[in-house]
Amino acid sequence: MFAYYLELAWRSLRRNKSLTALMIFAVALGIGACMTTLTVVHVLSGDPLPGRGDRVYRVLLDAEPMDSYRKDGNPLDQVTWVDGMNLLRDGKADRQALMTGGNVAVTPPDASLDPFYIGARYSTSDIFSLFGIHFIYGGAWTAKDDASRARVAVITRRLNDKVFGGANSVGRNLRVSDADLRVIGVIDDWDPQPHFHDLDMNTYGDSERLYLPLGTSRDLGLGHSGSTNCYGNGRSSEKELETQSCTWLQYWVELDTAAKRDAYHEYLVNYSRAQHDHGRFERPPNVRLFDVMSWLDYKRVVPGDVKIQAWLAIGFLIVCLVNTVGLMLAKFLRRSGEVGVRRALGATRGEILTQLLTEAGMIGLAGGIGGLVLAILGLWLVRMQPHEYAKLAHLDFTMFLATFALAIASTVVAGLLPALRACRVAPALQLKTQ
């Protein structure tokens, strides 16, 4: 029967081409605007650590002095060297990593290639297993390498392609700043969007291409990038950061169960209390554990204007659909005679309703195709904008399907009122007035 409804819908839409085109255009316009902005929101607010984001947590501790204390205040986003090392030493989480980022100069072994600067991540060894980063050659450094500040590095496929022509470079040396680091692993390009692990570097865009132990970076005097927040007598001199009251490191942990999460939270409270007792912390314990998506929400990563644009576009879609409701109402009620005949010949109200909603769905499908074209055009325009996130504005398969789902569903909902009105016509009255 559905094939019959499709056939009738097709005939009906062809009957009045201009009205049909007007409805499709209205739906396409609304869907195009809506999907353009929703796609931007989708790519900006997607889970950058799929499958792991709900068990990987950002740790915040409140180590600031009392002078600016507010009872409902939030701790600073990063931790001090001392706290980071203390937490690492206790090792209470399933995995934990203390890290920061910076820019380093790389001198390729091939003398014909010029030295260049790249983003680097200085971290303790668990970073790869914590974030589920896949190795194509070799493996990660160990906690022992962290402790000994070993001169080792892990590079990305992209850097490996550039410097070593894509060959297995494990064991080869790479000159970073003024030191030779031994490549011990090559990872697949890891480019989470947004860069949840260090939002101070750049929220969207290319990730780091070189990874080395945090201690090694200190030994080599590699400067770190991002924010440094010093309080009390703290001084932000790069050389003294390890001993100063400055937060400049990100601390991430993996906690596989809710019970472990609760226990770790309790541990952090106790740690803060102990630090308070020792006189390092002045404030009462104020700790935070954010999983990845909560962390992005907390940091309001998706720009406010993008969200506003999305709401405006949804409003625009509603306006377009209201217009479509009016057009469909006119179209369906003009067919009261046909509805009356079909009812007289045995069609139930439900069958008439299904027939008319199939027609609405077909308008939605056509509107979805038009909307897709407009959304692709809209996203191209977004990519022309000078925003950090602009280059990410591409329609993925999920949003491709969502375009049609939204177009068909919204048009069917819009067609509900006109269809209900049309299928309630009294057949006797219609047949008398033919």
- For other proteins, the binding residues (CB under 8 A) are 1, 4, 11-12, 15, 337-338, 340-351, 426-428, 431-432, 434
Residues whose CB is less than 8 angstroms from the CB of residue 7 and which lie 6 or more positions away in sequence, other chains included = none
CB-nearer residue toward other proteins: 364 or 427:
427
* DSSP strand pairing (135-138 vs 56-60): unpaired
CB-nearer residue toward other proteins: 233 or 434:
434
Least distance (Å) between residue 26 CB and other proteins: 23
CB-nearer residue toward other proteins: 113 or 431:
431
Least distance (Å) between residue 23 CB and other proteins: 18
CB-nearer residue toward other proteins: 239 or 334:
334
CB-nearer residue toward other proteins: 165 or 346:
346
* DSSP strand pairing (116-123 vs 210-213): parallel
Inter-CA distances, 10 with 13, 17, 120, 361, 429, Å: 5, 11, 59, 11, 27
* DSSP strand pairing (116-123 vs 152-156): unpaired
CB-nearer residue toward other proteins: 261 or 343:
343
Least distance (Å) between residue 370 CB and other proteins: 25
What is residue 141's three-state secondary structure? coil
In sequence order, what are the beta bridge partners of 290? 58
The DSSP code sequence of 320-362 is HHHHHHHHHHHHHHTTHHHHHHHHHTT--HHHHHHHHHHHHHH
CB-nearer residue toward other proteins: 47 or 338:
338
Q: Which amino acid is at 388?
A: E
Least distance (Å) between residue 428 CB and other proteins: 4
Find, among 328, 375, 388, the residue nearest to 356 by Cα. 328
Least distance (Å) between residue 420 CB and other proteins: 14
Least distance (Å) between residue 329 CB and other proteins: 19
Least distance (Å) between residue 196 CB and other proteins: 56
User: Using CA atoms, how far apart are residues 40 and 42, in angstroms rounded to an integer?
Assistant: 5
Counting every residue written for the chain, the total comes to: 434
∠21-26-31 over CA atoms, to 5°?
120
Neighbours of 315 (CB within 10 A): 13
Q: Are 330 and 419 in contact (CB under 8 A)?
A: no
